[in-house]
Amino acid sequence: MKKNICVVGLGYVGLPLAVEFAKYFNVLGFDESINRINELKKNKDINNQIAKNILINSKVKFTSSERELKKFNIFLVTVPTPVNTDRSPNLTKLKKATLTIAKYLKKNDLIIYESTVYPGLTEEILIPIISHKTRFKLNKDFFVGYSPERISPGDKKNISEIKKVVSGSNKTISKFIFNLYKKIIKAGVYLAPNIKTAEACKILENIQRDVNISLMNEASIIFNKLNIDTFEVLKAANTKWNFLNFTPGLVGGHCISVDPYYMKYKAEKIGLKTQVISSGRNINENMVKNICSRILSAKNYKKNKSFRSIGIMGLTFKENCSDCRNSQVFKIIDFFLNRKFNVEVLDPKANYSELNKKYRNLIVKNFSNKKDCLILAVPHKEFLSLKESDYHKKLKNNCIIFDVKKKLVFKQKKNYQILSL
């Protein structure tokens, strides 16, 4: 099989994949967003995943014209798979990408899905879409693979350094996909026995992390009531050789806060009710409420009648990345805006291009005044590199500081009330 590769979806996953494959093969990068294609043609990645000099030297051809797809025979699908407002899987972009590819699919072509899905989705939903549209038969006229993406936005690891799991619709195509990825993945490639296993492995990886963080979050709620410092407990517990080093925090992003709902949805479809998975999600979803209620019950709030000014540092879903998708910080903002507080947000990393105007208008380069409350929601390195005096300039003398991950150390605490998870 010739290796003319088209990557469909050029976000945090698709672009690095296209750039890496283009070192060895003819690669087309397709995205339906004309704006995204235009910026990439100017060698600019607004997500800050790929540096300008790498884009300049890359051989990827970028296009938003779907007709270009007919020249290619291997399609890598890397579009987002979010959830709807009712937490059910939102497959709109995945189905659309599949239908687009099906228009131009030729006999013996291969489609490899990287988008995160629940176990069985590729075979139950996507393959039937292709077969219906093309009248082709799987493993006779076309082939399918699944290789879950493992890129973490903001991490500096090259995609080649992240071990890859691959699978295919039959043994021959599985081996072909294995060798295809082996060309770019230095960390190694693991061949799963079937597509369902590969789908399940990705979703379980993120559920495991979500559940472990929820345990730390629940523990932090208990410890706070007992007037125990959670992070001091963790320091002590980490002296045991097999203690897992998870910490409490806000859980957002496109994977960890989404994938458990995909598993829950599938479990319910087969008559099962998730317990640990759902419990963990509920705890993590409610941590914003915990943070905000603790601020409004703090003594420095109660004794300050003019307490109105909130400064939030960090908007992205985690530190040192530009990705704001499903960030829990939006909920913090909404909580205080709904109660008529004045809110300003600092974030030197965030990608503002797709933000709702409501939030974009709150973002400032510097706070306009001293704050009654400072929330260090996302500890970007830029915030942690500030001098203590820089923080004092932002704060009123009797302010509340909620340092979510307990990253700040003040020698001069003044009359601050400092809280953390």
Indicate whether 198 and 291 sit together in one domain: no
Catalytic site residue 201?
Answer: no
Cα angle for residues 62, 63, 67 (degrees, 5° grid) = 135
Indicate whether 63 and 181 sit together in one domain: yes
CA 247 to chain centre: 18
CA 100 to chain centre: 25
In the sheet with 109-113, reading across from the earlier edge strand, the strands are 61-63, 26-30, 4-8, 74-77, 109-113, 142-146, 164-168, 189-191
CA 107 to chain centre: 35
What would the two tokens of residue 243 be? Answer: 């203690």
> Residue 171 corresponds to which amino acid?
K
Write down the pTM of the prediction: 0.95
Choose, from 6, 255, 292, 399, the residue flagged as catalytic.
255
**Residue at 134 is within a domain:** yes
Contact assessment for residue 149 and residue 78, using Cβ atoms and an 8 Å cutoff: yes
Indicate whether 192 and 303 sit together in one domain: no
Indicate whether 177 and 299 sit together in one domain: no
**Residue at 49 is within a domain:** yes
pLDDT recorded at residue 239: 98
**Residue at 271 is within a domain:** no
The alpha carbon torsion through 87, 88, 92, 97 (nearest 10 deg) reads 110
**Residue at 104 is within a domain:** yes
Cα(first)–Cα(last) distance of the chain, in Å? 54
What would the two tokens of residue 89 be? Answer: 């899987």
What would the two tokens of residue 179 be? Answer: 């060798």
DSSP alpha helix (H) spans, 297-342: 299-302, 329-337
**Residue at 225 is within a domain:** no
Last residue of a domain, one of 176, 202, 228: 202
In this structure, what CATH number is given to the domain that contains residue 363? 3.40.50.720
**Residue at 348 is within a domain:** yes
Rounded Cα distance between 58 and 9, Å, is 17
Contact assessment for residue 249 and residue 421, using Cβ atoms and an 8 Å cutoff: yes
One digit per residue, the tens of pLDDT, for the chain of length 421 reads 789 999 999 999 999 999 999 999 999 999 999 999 999 999 999 988 899 999 999 999 999 999 999 999 999 999 999 999 999 999 999 999 999 999 999 999 999 999 999 999 999 999 999 999 999 999 999 999 999 999 887 777 889 999 999 999 999 999 999 999 999 999 999 999 999 999 999 999 999 999 999 999 999 999 999 999 999 999 999 999 999 999 999 999 999 999 999 999 999 999 999 999 999 999 999 999 999 999 999 999 999 999 999 999 999 999 999 999 999 999 999 999 999 999 999 999 998 877 888 999 999 999 999 999 999 999 999 999 999 999 999 999 999 999 999 999 998 878 899 999 9
Report the domain count for the chain. Answer: 2
Last residue of a domain, one of 150, 169, 202: 202
Indicate whether 20 and 113 sit together in one domain: yes
Task: Please name the residues in contact with 129: beta carbons below 8 A apart, sequence gap of 6 or more.
Answer: 95, 98, 99, 102
Rounded Cα distance between 113 and 408, Å, is 42
pLDDT recorded at residue 413: 72
Last residue of a domain, one of 182, 202, 222: 202
Report the DSSP pairing between strands 342-346 and 371-376.
unpaired
Rounded Cα distance between 30 and 24, Å, is 18
26 class by beta-carbon count within 10 Å (0-12 exposed, 13-18 middle, 19+ buried):
middle
Q: Of 122, 80, 99, 100, which is closest to residue 30 (Cα–Cα)? A: 100
CA 198 to chain centre: 19
Indicate whether 412 and 301 sit together in one domain: yes
> Residue 84 corresponds to which amino acid?
N
Indicate whether 174 and 72 sit together in one domain: yes
**Residue at 226 is within a domain:** no
Domain that holds residue 69: 4-202
**Residue at 252 is within a domain:** no
Contact assessment for residue 106 and residue 2, using Cβ atoms and an 8 Å cutoff: no
